[in-house]
Chain A
Amino acid sequence: MGAVAELPANQACLDRLTSEVINQGLCVACGACLGLCPHLIFLDGQVAAPDACGLSEGRCIDLCPMDPAPEPAARRQELHQALGSSYQPPIGPVIEAWQGRAVAADLQGKVQYGGVVSELVSLALEEGLVGEAVVTVAGQRGVPQGARAKNRPEVLAAAGSIYAGGGALGELNRALAEPADHSLAVVGLPCQVLAIAGMKSHPRYPAAAQRLGLVIGLFCTMNLPVRGLRRLLQAEGVEGPVLKSDFPPPPAGVYQVWNQSGLHELPIEKVRDIRFSGCALCPDLTAELSDLSVGACEGRPGLNTILVRTPAGAKLVERARKLGRLELEPAAAESMDHLQIAATNKRARAEQARAERQHG
């Protein structure tokens, strides 16, 4: 019934992504490959590539933070160098460290901890430092996805962590591909910040270097796949959709999730079982390639820890403090010690997991 043609044999870049990342179970749904390439689908929290692209070069493998080559330390060193910062494990370069919270009333109840990220993004937009911000929002049936925010209400709509891979960088790719010249802010997890750093330093993506005005990193111990989380919650009798979720800092040992009926807590071990396999290989707790990184302040609920890494980050924090948007105090030495230990532990676990993967 007619000739069956062979698919083109040359399918290098997407083929590498598929064979070395997706099929290895390493994809963490950061979205660095998404948004522009029609060969890649992102549906219900998962990346797939049904057709050969036939190209040898592309963003998919250029930017993938889970590409096993080069090995993580060397890659990070290279990127710090390219961006003019220094590689300082375990928490990366820090020029200032703060503890504090946002003051504004409209943030209360929506934000994780101190609301610092939402306030800083909002301020950057208000002050015209950036024209748009790429953030993660809850999309259809609670699946997180990338979105653009141009003003405070849009930023607030994205407030609160979801802890599930939503491919938000696809939206950043689309934004950077548009014929515009305004500056962009982006909020991302350590894996996403790594991909963004790659984008900023890669000659094939000049728009990223030109237009990425502010990169805010989030502290992260692990992230969860949408589908695995849905199955876990179903098994635990938690009805969707998820409104908000949290990993409270140690020694809580629980995963908290809010739905229509309120708060549910699951033991951290059950959640760790379903996390992205790729997260086990990630050495970065504090998104060390950001302009500034924000996370929970251990032992002080309601406050954030802020690590300022670049002059651009420092300028924005200083402006927020001056305008009274943030109440800040220098980070306590004890908290910083805890953070260093946690970061060192994550790094060690990642190295061990990596070694096991290579030799096992």
Chain B
Amino acid sequence: MADLTKLTPGQRTLLQGNEAIARGALEAGISLAAAYPGNPSSEILESLADSAAAAGIYVEWSANEKVALEAAAGASFAGLRAMASMKQNGVNVCQDFICNLTISGTKGGIVLVTADDPGSISSTNEQDARFIAKLAELPLLEPSTPAECLAMMRFAFELSEQIGNLVVLRSISRLSHTRAGVTPGALPASRPQPYWDPKVAWHTLPTVLRHKAMLAKLAKAGEIMSAAGFNAYSGPERPELLVIASASSALYADEARDRLGVAERVGLLKLGCTWPLDEALLLRHLAATEQILFAEEVDPFIEDNVKALYAQHAPELGVKRFFGAATGHTPPVGEMSPDVLAEALGKILGREPATVDAAYLERVAQRVAALVPPREFGFCPGCPHRASFWSMKQVLAADGRDGLVSGDIGCYSLAMLPTGFQRANAVHCMGSGPGVAGGLGQLRSQGFDQPVITTVGDSTFFHAALPAIINARWNQSDFVLVVLDNSATAMTGFQPHPGTGQTATGRPGSQLDPQTVLTALGVPCSVVDPYDLEATQQALYDAVQAGGGVRALILRRVCALVQNKRGGHPYTVSVDPDKCRGENCGCHRFCSRVFRCPGLAFDEAAGKATIDPVVCVGCGVCTQICPAGAIQAEPRKEAAA
């Protein structure tokens, strides 16, 4: 990411949605930003971190999302503008705080940015986090373009201060990771001095009275938002069909309308402010049409709320037909697209979208079906997780009691796929690995004798695993905790975390060692290099056999991608064709077929295993699995010390 303070006001530039969010926050004069990394939100804080020194603000990667939002609230109470950003899952992590903060209210402008992931492009779910706005009665903004991301962030801080409450801005993957022209505004000349008058207290008592005040704030927010210009209508005065859309879906609806040539028949009401709804605006447009189609991702949030509003006013409005998720015209799962909306519009208006010659489509589809295999996700070449899960697979098989691995969130979630030998038996959310393991480990007295391993990454360890580990230690559950310590929050782009000793802005922080933490908790703990398969398997086997209580093994080896950036791996790996017996070996292509590192391949022409030099990074782990000793690792000449 780059220092966003260097952008020239008034000069249009290509910015990613996340960068535009960050720039909007800078222009609004934030003093503090905190976040926990998670795609598609990560670049927001990365950009702010890279701008922090020039802007003179405080930016941190927090240990988790709840801590991040609490830090932002602290700054708000001291009169400063502050924000927390996260992916949709993070909103759940801080939900408890949100639902209390909304009652206590806030002072300095404070914004929660959630970047949702329709289609689950990089997530374990596609949860629609907009519901937090309704749950906690908070104003909700949904930008459509990077330019609007910037404008809405500026507005969000103003709004927050005007009503004295948190404001939620919801992005989605396709916006956060979209680049488009954005014209930045000016940065503030100064920011307020933090001060918290000790006579002022921020809390929730008396709750009912404050709840009532909070609803009044929401009503006030509605008034301010309706004048903000983020809701816009285009189309005929009395459209045959009204599309009510938000975010990218509004752009897709516009495009679909053009492609079908029905711009004169279809109105588009693009909503940027989606909670509370601008009731007057909606009633006016509902009155002007008989048919309404909703376009939004993922859940029918606007759809259901508009229908509720309609129900209240049905006597005046008369009979209307609503189309959307409820009628199957739009999907309540996955991403929206111009095609989905063109089809929905066509269905309602009786128009066929223009398409390509059917013979072409059939021919291409046939060629793709015949020639194009899927492309599986997998651990990177050299990834320590491949080695770790290989050892877990071997050891649990050797143990022979149908051992289980309770997985967690990180790159190593991919262990549920063949790349991790399908050795993750459960994967849910940050910290759930040791939590689930804790319950299993308490079933011994009821005859459950399957060994239980749980895997957590180093970042996940600090984020949410600790309470589960403490619980297991306290209640004496029986499992093996494997900390997959690759010294990075690798899944989301190598952000620092408490175990790395670095901070978001490069300022040195205190380094927390999982081993020290575990030892202090009374959990016996050893450290092994997962690249050493024999030592890892021995240590894992011993830990599995030990039984009784929580015992930990830290498999420590830096992320292969980080190692690539640090000058690379130590070896040049190759296959000795004289030693590789190919199809005569009896291993049946063990290296490529079973170990499945992308650097390996079977050369069909030569009938031998081979290494793809473009892909292989040179970790050398596969030399340990060849039964013929045919894979050899030579020290790389220019290897880093």
Verify whether A and B have any Cβ pair under 8 Å: yes
Give me the interface of A with B, judged by CB distance under 8 Å: 1-5, 36-39, 41-44, 46, 48-51, 53-55, 58-59
Number of A-B contacts (CB under 8 A): 70
Contact A54 B374 (CB under 8 A): no
B586 at interface by CB-CB < 8 Å:
yes
Q: Are B120 and A38 in contact (CB under 8 A)?
A: no
Q: Which residues on A sit within 8 Å (CB–CB) of B92?
A: none
Q: Which of B304-312, B361-369, B389-397 lies at the interface with chain A? A: B389-397
Residue of A nearest to B626 (CB): A38
Distance, CA A42 to CA B399, complexed state (A): 10
Selected contact of B594 from candidates A41, A43, A46, A51, CB within 8 Å: A51
Give the residue name and chain of the A residue nearest to B374 (CB): A3
Question: Which of A1, A43, A51, A53 is in CB contact (< 8 Å) with B395?
Answer: A43
The reply to whether B418 and A5 form a contact with Cβ atoms under 8 Å apart is: yes
Asked if B627 contacts A37 (CB within 8 A), the reply is: yes
Q: Give the 6 A-B residue pairs with the shortest CB-CB distance, closest first.
A: A50-B397, A2-B377, A43-B398, A3-B374, A48-B397, A38-B627
A183–B124 CA distance with the chains assembled, in angstroms: 60
Whether A44 contacts B541 by the Cβ 8 Å rule is yes
Which of chain B's residues 535-561 have a Cβ closer than 8 Å to chain A? 537, 541, 545
* Residue B348 at the chain A interface, CB threshold 8 Å: no
* Cα(A83)–Cα(B252), bound, Å: 80
Residues of A within 8 A of B541 (CB): 43-44
Q: Which residues of A contact B586 (CB under 8 A)?
A: 36-37, 55, 58-59
**Interchain CA distance A58-B396 in the complex, whole Å:** 24
- Across the interface, do B588 and A41 meet the contact criterion of CB distance under 8 Å? no
A39 proximity list for chain B (CB < 8 A): 587, 590, 594
B400 within 8 A of A: yes
The B379-437 residues at the A interface (CB cut-off 8 A) are 393-400, 413-414, 416-418, 421-422
Cα of A38 to Cα of B626 in the assembled complex, Å = 7
Q: Told that A1-B377, A1-B417, A43-B395 touch, could you supply 4 new A-B pairs with CB distance under 8 A?
A: A2-B376, A3-B375, A38-B587, A41-B394
Query: Can you name 11 A-B pairs with beta carbons within 8 Å?
Result: A1-B416, A2-B376, A5-B418, A39-B594, A43-B394, A44-B541, A48-B400, A49-B397, A51-B421, A51-B594, A54-B593
B53 on the A face (CB < 8 A): no
Contact A54 B588 (CB under 8 A): yes
Give the nearest-CB partner of A23 in chain B.
B400
Q: Quick check: B394 and A50 within 8 Å, CB to CB?
A: yes
CA distance A173 to B78 in the complex (A): 75
Check if B625 is an interface residue, CB within 8 A of chain A.
Answer: yes
- Chain B residues in 8 Å Cβ range of A2: 374-377, 417
- Bound complex: CA of A51 vs CA of B586, how far in Å? 14
User: B398 contacts A44, CB within 8 Å?
Assistant: yes
Known: A38-B590, A50-B397, A58-B586. A4 touches B417 (CB 8 A): yes
User: Which of A36, A42, A43, A46 lies at the interface centre, i.e. has the most chain B CB atoms within 10 A of its CB?
Assistant: A43
Contact, CB under 8 Å: B625 / A46: no
Q: In the complex, what residue of chain A is closest to B122 when comparing beta carbons?
A: A1
Looking at the assembled complex, report how far the CB atom of B428 sits from the nearest CB atom of chain A, in whole angstroms.
14
Looking at the assembled complex, report how far the CB atom of A314 sits from the nearest CB atom of chain B, in whole angstroms. Answer: 37
Contact A43 B537 (CB under 8 A): yes
Least Cβ–Cβ distance between A234 and chain B, in angstroms: 11
Segment 417-460 of B: residues with Cβ below 8 Å from A: 417-418, 421-422
Nearest-Cβ distance from residue A67 to partner chain B, whole angstroms: 18
B586 to nearest A CB, angstroms?
A: 6
B517 CB to closest chain A CB (Å) equals 30
Q: Which of B120, B588, B625, B626 contacts A53 (CB 8 A)?
A: B588
B398 partner, pick from A4, A48, A53, beta carbons under 8 A: A48
User: How far is B627's CA from A59's CA once the two chains are assembled, in angstroms?
Assistant: 15
Q: B11-42: which residues lie under 8 A (CB-CB) from chain A?
A: none
Residue from B395, B417, B587 within 8 A of A37 (CB atoms): B587
- In the complex, chain A residues whose CB is within 8 Å of the CB of B545: 44
Which B residues are CB-close (under 8 A) to A38? Answer: 587, 590, 594, 625-627
Q: Indicate if the CB atoms of B398 and A46 lie closer than 8 Å.
A: yes
Given the complex of chains A and B, what is the CA–CA distance between A310 and B397 in angstroms?
A: 41
A179 CB to closest chain B CB (Å) equals: 11
**Please, which residues of chain A bring their CB within 8 A of the CB of B422?**
4
Taking a contact as CB atoms closer than 8 A, the residue among A5, A43, A46, A59 that contacts B376 in the complex is A5
A4/B418 contact (C-beta < 8 A), A37-B627, A38-B627, A46-B400 known: yes
Bound CA span A49–B398, Å: 8
CB of A26 to closest CB in B, whole Å: 14
Contact with A along B615-626 (1 / 0, CB 8 A): 000000000011
Which residues of the partner chain A approach B376 to less than 8 Å between Cβ atoms? 2-5
| Distance in angstroms between the alpha carbons of A239 and B397 in the assembled complex | 27
With A and B bound together, what is the CA distance between A46 and B627 in angstroms?
19
Chain A residue nearest to B414 (CB atoms) is: A1
Chain B nearest CB from A118 CB (Å) reads 31
Chain A residues, Cβ within 8 Å of B590: 38-39
Q: Which residues from chain B contact A54 at a C-beta distance below 8 Å? A: 588, 593
- Residues in A with CB closer than 8 Å to B120 are 1
Residues on B with C-beta less than 8 A from A44 are 398, 541, 545
Interface hub of A36, A42, A59 (most chain B Cβ within 10 A): A36
Which residues of chain B from 206 to 230 have a CB within 8 Å of any chain A CB? Answer: none
Q: How far is the CA of A30 from the CA of B115 in the complex (A)?
A: 58
A59 CA to B587 CA in the complex, in Å?
Answer: 12
A-chain residues with CB within 8 Å of residue B417 when the two chains form the complex:
1-2, 4
Interchain CA distance A48-B120 in the complex, whole Å:
37
Interface centre among B586, B587, B590 (most CB of A within 10 A): B586
- Chain B residues with CB below 8 A from A36, complex form: 586, 627
- What residues on B are CB-neighbors of A59 within 8 Å? 586
Task: Point out the residues of chain B lying under 8 angstroms from A41, CB to CB.
Answer: 394, 397-398
Q: How far is the CB of A322 from chain B (nearest CB, A)?
A: 43
A55, B397: Cα distance in complex, Å: 20
A159 CB to closest chain B CB, in angstroms? 27
Residues of chain B within 8 A of A3, CB atoms compared: 374-376
- Complex-state Cα separation, A51 to B587, whole angstroms: 11
* Chain A, Cβ-Cβ closest to B419: A2
B583-595 interface bits toward A, Cβ cutoff 8 Å, 1 = contact, 0 = none: 0001110100110
CB atoms of A55 and B588 under 8 A apart? yes
Residue of A nearest to B390 (CB): A50
A59 to B414, CA, bound (A): 34
Distance in angstroms between the alpha carbons of A120 and B593 in the assembled complex? 45
CA distance A55 to B588 in the complex (A): 7
> By CB atoms of chain B within 10 A, which of A38, A41, A51 has the most?
A38
Task: Collect the chain A residues with CB atoms within 8 Å of residue B413's CB.
Answer: 1
Q: Which residues of A contact B124 (CB under 8 A)?
A: 1
Closest to B393 in A: A50
Q: Give the chain A neighbours of B393 by CB distance below 8 A.
A: 50-51
- Nearest-CB distance from B545 to chain A (Å)? 8
Q: With A and B bound together, what is the CA distance between A46 and B545 in angstroms?
A: 14
> When chains A and B are docked, how far (Å) is the Cα of A3 from the Cα of B124?
15
Complex Cα distance A181/B374, Å?
Answer: 49
